[in-house]
Chain A
Amino acid sequence: MGSRRPRATPPAAVPAIGSAEPAATPDAPSAGSLPEARSRPDHEVLVKIRGLCFRRGSQVVLHRVDMDIRRGAVTAVMGPSGTGKTTLLKLITGQLRPDAGSIEVNGEPVHTLGKSALFRLRRRMGMLFQSGALLTDLNVFDNVAYPLREHTDLNPSMLRKLVLLKLEAVGLRGARDLMPSELSGGMARRVALARAIALDPDMILYDEPFTGQDPISKGMLVTLIRQLNDAAGLTSILVSHDVDETASIADHIYVISHGEIIAQGTPQEIASDRSAWVRQFMDGLPDGPVHFHYPALPLADDLLPRGVAG
């Protein structure tokens, strides 16, 4: 389970998002903390984001984000909670529309697609939600079978075999009759992962897959994400704030703070980045550019009666 298998071509059953062979080697070294996306030939890039801005009310969530997601690679988007990582995933999948900028997936402008075109595109994407998002009234088997029943006319025997193979891939073939309420958090995410790959997508997006997991579940998920990516020729986007796990499987990392990309590069480049913000995040320092204290009046102003302080 721990060894990496050679990358295979995408399954023939679903039209591939792109036919370009994924690059076999990690990115070339760079300066590390470049705010702009590095330019790559278009055929290497599956998701191209330019000048992306998104606001929620008066709050700026993402500000002029440029990003290239390379085909066949595991690209991680890291940063502390509340910096817009999940929002970025929702923008890539068309669940949210940007206020400015563009998002192209395999050349298709996601931000302008109509509902039916968006749904066609999503059939080639899988997404693993933070909560798993399993349908609570269906058992494990039916959850994984759900997208197949909705989008294919497979006969019951073929559907059963496919579902069992997907469950086998995540190690849960024996749990097919359990209900979601009977699963542990790690098992629920693995079932959700089996469901996400049910239609043999070309790209999988992971939203905080390691949050709240015990070390064994984390290890399983880390291995699964890398193995699935390599074995099925997928492109993976991994949003997380778990530094060690993410750095161990990512080919390229973007670090986001306050809605802007403040660093990008290979895990080695990010590890050697000396900027104060990146160091605080990667080393988990309690104080630094991100302050320990939420902005507030001086303590004396809050504790002493008016007129006494100062």
Chain B
Amino acid sequence: MILEGLARLGRSGLGTLERLGRAHLLLAGMVLGIGAVLRRPGLLIAQLFNIGVLSMLIIGVSGLFVGMVLGLQGYYVLAQFGAAESLGVMVAASLVRELGPVVTALLVAGRAGSALTAEIGLMKATEQLSGLEMMAVDPVRRILTPRFFGGVLAMPLLAAMFSAVGVLGGYFVGVGLLGVDSGSFWSQMQSKVDFHEDIVNGVIKSVVFGVVVTWIALFQGHDSVPTSEGVSRATTRSVVHAALAVLGLDFVLTALMFGE
């Protein structure tokens, strides 16, 4: 009984290691395939459209509401200390440092990541990837790599959009509805939000999240069991794994960037 349990544990561990190995080989293949993308930029532009442009609506709307909630909550807390004029700093720093990269990554994992997993999984299930291989076309270079770099490039742009729209949402609530001084809102934000400390670190975070979310989505699709159930499970795993990875990595990156 104990031996059987140990054997099961061992098999599961070996299976996980094997999957990790395959995932890293796929990542290496996609990174090394950058030359193919540079030679045919049209493939990358198409994916930037699919992953980036088609996600703009959900990112914009989410950013607006998150900014409005930040404005509302921040005002009530800051007003207790007579610091309501600092609302702009609070909204902007929260968005640029944390909420912009993290919420954008979660939303992209849910909208574009799941679509990528389903698309690649279905291409596998309908033998389109095998068909490409039989035409002597490497599906990793031709299909996966443009999607990978499309996701990596789209993520910081979407995060920037999320933060910008969020700041406008905070301004609308704080200045427009709650009466915070407009000059103080912008000037304090301008003087206290540091370009390197806040904005660059936020961009680095979103690039890392872009790599992780797109990598997980493509690997789950590529590694899925080629049946309808297999693709469905892979799509669920893609979103769950990406969300957990983003939240875990956010803690690590925050500790490294902003820790004393």
Contact = CB atoms under 8 A, between A and B. Distances in A.
Contacts, number: 49
Contacts of A125: 134
Contacts of B130: 95, 129, 133
Contacts of A126: 134
B137 A133 contact: no
A123 B136 contact: yes
B134 A93 contact: yes
B243 to A, nearest CB: 28
Contacts of A133: 126-128, 130-131
**Interface SS of chain A: helix, strand, loop or mixed?**
mixed
Interface in A110-164: 115, 119-120, 122-123, 125-127, 129-131, 133-136, 146-147, 150-151
Nearest to B122: A136
Interface in B124-160: 126-128, 130-131, 133-138, 142
B134 A150 contact: no
B137 A131 contact: no
Nearest to B135: A147
A123 B138 CA distance: 12
B137 A147 contact: yes
Which of B127, B134, B136 has the largest count of A CB atoms less than 10 A from its CB? B134
Contacts of B133: 95, 122
A126 B131 CA distance: 10
Query: Interface residue tally of chain B, by bracket?
Result: 10 to 19
B148 to A, nearest CB: 18
Interface in B161-208: none
Interface string A190-201: 001001000100
Interface residues of A, number: 24
Contacts of A151: 135-136
A95 B131 CA distance: 11
Contact of A119 (B127, B128, B131, B138): B138
A131 B127 contact: yes
B22 to A, nearest CB: 16
B127 A129 contact: yes
A140 to B, nearest CB: 15
Contact of B126 (A127, A136, A147, A199): A136
Given A129-B131, A133-B131, A119 B126 contact: no
Contacts of A129: 127, 130-131, 134
B91 to A, nearest CB: 41
Interface string A281-295: 000000000000000
A95 B142 CA distance: 18
Contacts of A150: 135-137, 142
Contacts of A122: 133-136
B135 A135 contact: no
A131 B126 contact: yes
B134 A127 contact: yes
Contacts of A136: 126, 128
A131 B142 CA distance: 21
Which of B128, B136, B138 gathers the greatest number of chain A CB atoms within 10 Å? B136
A84 B15 CA distance: 26
Contacts of A120: 136
Contacts of B138: 115, 119
Interface string B49-92: 00000000000000000000000000000000000000000000
Nearest to B133: A95
A117 B259 CA distance: 51
A146 B133 CA distance: 12
23 contacts: A93-B134, A95-B130, A95-B133, A95-B134, A115-B138, A119-B136, A119-B138, A122-B135, A122-B136, A123-B136, A125-B134, A127-B131, A129-B127, A131-B126, A131-B127, A133-B128, A135-B128, A146-B137, A150-B135, A150-B136, A150-B137, A150-B142, A192-B131
Given A122-B135, A126-B134, A131-B126, 18 more contacts: A120-B136, A123-B136, A125-B134, A129-B130, A129-B131, A129-B134, A133-B126, A133-B127, A134-B128, A134-B131, A135-B131, A136-B126, A147-B135, A150-B135, A150-B142, A151-B135, A151-B136, A195-B135
Interface of A: 93, 95, 115, 119-120, 122-123, 125-127, 129-131, 133-136, 146-147, 150-151, 192, 195, 199
